[in-house]
Chain A
Amino acid sequence: MFGAGAMTNSIPEIRDTEVMFVIGSNTTEAHPIIAMEMKVARQRGAKLIVADPRKIWLAEHADIHMQLKPGTDVFLLNAMAKVIVDEGLVDKDFIEKHTEGWPALRDNLAKFTLEEAEKVTKVPAALIREAAIIYASHKRAGIYYTLGITEHTHGTDNVYSLANLVLMTGHLGVRSAGMNPLRGQNNVQGANDSGCSPVFYPGYQYCNDESVRKKFGEAWGIGEGPGPGKNLNEMMKLVEHGEMHALYIMGEDIVISEPNCSVLEESLKNIEFLVCQDIFPNMTTPFAHVILPGASFAEKDGVFTNSDRRVQRVRKAVSSPGNARPDWEILGDFARECGYDMPKYEHPGEIYAEMAALSPKFSGISYERLEKNPRGLQWPCTTPDDPGAEYLHQGAPLRGKGEFSTVDYRESAELPDDDYPLILSTGRVLYQYNSATQTRRDEGTNAKAGENFIEVHPDDAERIGIVDGEQVKIVSRRGGIKAKVWLSGRVQLGCVWMPMHFAEEAANRLTNDAGDIVTGTGEYKVCAVNLIPLKDARKSSGSAALAAARSPKSA
């Protein structure tokens, strides 16, 4: 689109913005410290536009909340784009100088009228129009999004639609603007930086480029390196079909994290060889042939790259328990045992230096410089005196011309019907973290959110005959789990929501493993479910339901 897979702008810039368009991001819960920056911006007078199927905290404090039907983002965004064209708010100069594909996009927008958009998305036309005008008529207007955009079968289309908005308004290469995917994990960005991607070698150098394969192959003493491989979703499918026979998994619970996880669980029983390198038992480790105990972040040196491309140090503070060891040491020993001549690194700084020397994007970053920079260094940072980049695409998009993508609306892969009449979206709560192996071992986080629940609209609950605090069975075409009902005005009629943190009643037994065409990312945000009251757990009076809600979970 523009030429870099990262936040275009930086977290500290948010407080100076004029407009924040937050879509598919429950920022106060998933990125609380970024939300604090948004709160500061709001106090300073910035406008806040939120597009989210639920009335999340930000939605309640927003100038405009577009409560769209889950999975209709493309229609909403295209309708906004059409308003911007119709109102004459496009940045013609930017489009001319810095983009390609504009006429095709503009012509394709004609069918995304406000009237149609209201029918499809359930957002009042006037709100869509107002949001589009506010976004387009301020210069420092930033888009912030996360998995609510990407975890769809049309996730890539959603991202393209957002990029179209950014390009047509020239909100790129401007401080406090841009397009900002907020990263979910401490080092998602860093894992990509380091080349843990089937399409990139370290530093975002393409695997299908022969010169890249030769450069790395020679540096590593293997001639030419291998080309592109399978992405995670494809790998899991191959495991399920018995075509991938061994996995080496470091620091992930693939079972709890994958959509429609029961199928994967079944196939892991038959896998020929499984190595799990981790710090805690999880839903995947019972299938392992070898467990290699790794170190937590507090027990090793290294770097994490955060959401705004900021490389920062991680420092060893305590010893690992028992015989657990830092993961970088384990990987070195394993490679040598496999017959590969991996250098005997004394310290992670040497590994970083090796990577930086092969990756122009971070060749200016070193441990010495990180020691002197308490705010870290943001790539691209190409020379030892390069201060790094606060925001990208200054002057022009990195790839030369920003590319408009003509995107049409497609419905989600699985829609509600008579058997499964409700749309389930999954997500996260502030108090737990992903598979929760860490946070569920802390008293306060569990006191705030220690067991699974499902948010249900009061009218849906009445129709089904369930009350607040009651245990209910949730079924999809792929499986069934139990959770406590939480009656909530946050969800819209016909939609339910639940967190993905709880292994014993994992939401991913329900979710659809249909993947995005380009990235393979699963459709965690839309699948069809039904709720079935559990007779034995049923309480009729309000006080009894409350008591049930407070009693420990029996499942």
Chain B
Amino acid sequence: MSETFTIKIDGKDCTALQGETVLQVARREGIEIPTLCDDKRLDPAGACRACLVEIDGQRRLQPSCAWKAADGQDVKTHKASERVQRHQDVLVSLYMADHKLDCEGLPIETGNGNDLRAWAKDCSTLKLDPVNAPRVARPGDKNPYIEFDPELCVLCARCTRYCDEVEAVNAIALTGRGSETTIGTAGMRGLLDTSCELCGGCIDTCPTGALIEKKAAKTLPEEVEKVRTTCNYCGVGCQMDLNIKDDEIVRVTSPDPGTTVNDGNLCIKGRFAYDFVHHKDRFTEPMIRGEDGQLHPTTWEKAIAFAAEGMKKVAQRHGPEALGFVSSSRCTGEENYLMQKVARAAFKTGNIHQCSAT
């Protein structure tokens, strides 16, 4: 298969495959290199400069996300190179000068996390005057799902590249120039009036929480319990994490890229359309139709007895062939198994099918 060779990172011999970047090799070997603009699903951009490393023979520091590993290469990260660490200290400080900080002077925590905060804690940052760049969001944007805070944006362009390379709808792009550069849309229209499909992939990929789910903007990651499950809409079987707080779904996040069938992606329905679970229109009580022709709430015991008696009576009067059981491609495999078992074993009829038959 692929050709392998050895490179040295911080003095450690590491096996590399032909075509791999230095960052990929380092990650596999458990050597940490900070990144902001890197996402496995996207082509390397080398935009954020966080992952710069010293490469023997190269005059300048080089982005490990884009630099291809080569046989015998000697690489030093911030752990082994004072120069790289100094670069990181200055870089993080520059980012922070143009970023919302909390009372401790650290990049603020958001509902979508903030990688800059964790990184800043590892660096000896300098105190720089705030930049106050005149960046704009889209104040009139009425979309109910995706919020953008330019004060938290580091212009790594993960969101715009995701929108281009993965979702391929190009609803958002880097707009403006110089210090006014921001994440914009055509004519700075609200997302509902663009080609955006509200998949929320931009939120998922954003490293600093500049893009965040409106419905749960204030809920911090540590406040929720995540439950891994399978999406209940189409047949792709996307894995998703329901974020639970006080017995309610407050947010849906996707697993890391490369770990499940959906590669970290979700669509609008999977990521956002969960309000139905807690909706007031849900059936909450069993109901029986009374002599007045109306449905009336009742107990489970009575409802089950009524249902059983009704089905049994028809079976006695007309035979089991007069019964039909319609199961659901929306329910679990176990429930479908029980439904056909009820039809075949309890009522001795083969009249069992499911909704997706049509």
Interface residues of A (CB under 8 A from B): 11-12, 30-34, 36-37, 39-40, 43, 61, 182-198, 201-202, 207, 216, 220-222, 225-233, 235, 238-239, 243-252, 254, 257-259, 272-273, 275, 278-281, 288-294, 296-308, 310-319, 321-328, 330-335, 337-340, 342, 348, 351-352, 354-355, 374-376, 430-431, 433, 437-439, 441-445, 447-448, 519-522, 524
Contact = CB atoms under 8 A, between A and B. Distances in A.
B336 interface: yes
B32 interface: no
B339 A196 contact: yes
Interface string B320-353: 1011111111111111111111111111111111
A33 B266 contact: yes
B285 interface: yes
A182 B233 CA distance: 13
A216 B346 CA distance: 13
B139 interface: no
B53 interface: no
A293 B267 contact: no
A300 B230 CA distance: 12
Contacts of B340: 194-197, 201-202
Given A246-B324, A317-B229, A442-B273, A191 B261 contact: no
Given A190-B332, A431-B269, 12 more contacts: A185-B235, A191-B329, A220-B345, A225-B344, A225-B345, A229-B352, A293-B283, A306-B261, A312-B237, A318-B248, A322-B284, A444-B143
Contacts of A220: 341, 344-345
Nearest to B228: A315
Nearest to A227: B350
A317 B227 contact: yes
Task: List the 8 closest pairs (A to B, CB-CB), nearest first.
Answer: A306-B237, A322-B284, A302-B332, A229-B350, A251-B328, A183-B235, A340-B346, A293-B283
B289 interface: yes
Contacts of A235: 324, 326, 351, 353
A430 B267 contact: yes
B237 A433 contact: no
Given A246-B314, A438-B273, A186 B336 contact: no
Contacts of A185: 233-235, 329-330, 355-356
Interface stretch (B63-71, B83-91, B92-100, B302-310): B302-310
Contact of A245 (B261, B318, B348, B352): B318
Interface stretch (B22-30, B54-62, B109-117, B192-200): B192-200
Most buried by A among B322, B334, B344, B353: B334
Given A235-B351, A248-B326, A39 B339 contact: no
Given A238-B324, A290-B286, A306-B261, A39 B166 contact: yes
A302 B234 contact: no
A36 B335 CA distance: 31
B288 interface: yes
Given A220-B341, A257-B355, A292-B307, A328 B232 contact: no
Interface string B119-141: 00000000000000000000000
A379 to B, nearest CB: 11
A93 to B, nearest CB: 26
A318 B166 CA distance: 32
Contacts of B323: 244-248
Contacts of A227: 350
Interface of B: 142-145, 165-168, 192, 197-199, 227-239, 242, 244, 247-249, 255, 259-263, 265-270, 272-279, 281-289, 295, 300, 303-308, 310-315, 317-318, 320, 322-358
Contact of A291 (B197, B227, B286): B286
A128 B349 CA distance: 47
A312 B261 CA distance: 10
A404 B128 CA distance: 74
A305 B336 CA distance: 12
A306 B324 contact: no
B268 A431 contact: yes
Given A32-B197, A197-B353, A245 B233 contact: no
B350 A226 contact: yes
Most buried by A among B165, B308, B315: B308
Given A32-B199, A437-B276, A444-B144, A303 B336 contact: no
A355 B232 CA distance: 22
A293 B284 contact: yes
Given A184-B356, A191-B329, A340-B346, A334 B231 contact: no
B357 A293 contact: no
Contacts of B314: 245-246, 272-273
A33 B334 contact: no
B282 A321 contact: yes
B262 A33 contact: yes
B104 to A, nearest CB: 34
Contacts of B268: 32, 430-431, 444-445, 448
Contacts of A318: 242, 244, 247-249, 277-278
B239 A338 contact: no
A302 B335 contact: yes
Most buried by A among B199, B273, B300: B273
Contact of B351 (A61, A230, A314): A230
Nearest to A253: B355
Contact of A196 (B142, B327, B358): B327
Contact of A312 (B230, B276, B330): B230
A501 B290 CA distance: 31
B286 A348 contact: no
A339 B312 CA distance: 10
Contacts of A375: 259-261
B276 to A, nearest CB: 4
Given A186-B329, A335-B342, A304 B237 contact: yes
Contacts of B352: 195-198, 229
11 contacts: A31-B236, A188-B329, A195-B340, A197-B353, A201-B340, A222-B348, A226-B349, A246-B311, A296-B282, A351-B338, A441-B275
Nearest to B341: A220
A338 B335 CA distance: 17
Given A238-B324, A257-B358, A275-B307, A198 B350 contact: yes
B277 to A, nearest CB: 5
A172 to B, nearest CB: 21
Contacts of B343: 229, 248
A307 B237 contact: yes
Given A11-B236, A293-B286, A296-B276, A250 B331 contact: yes
A291 B283 contact: yes
Given A186-B237, A296-B276, A198 B312 contact: no
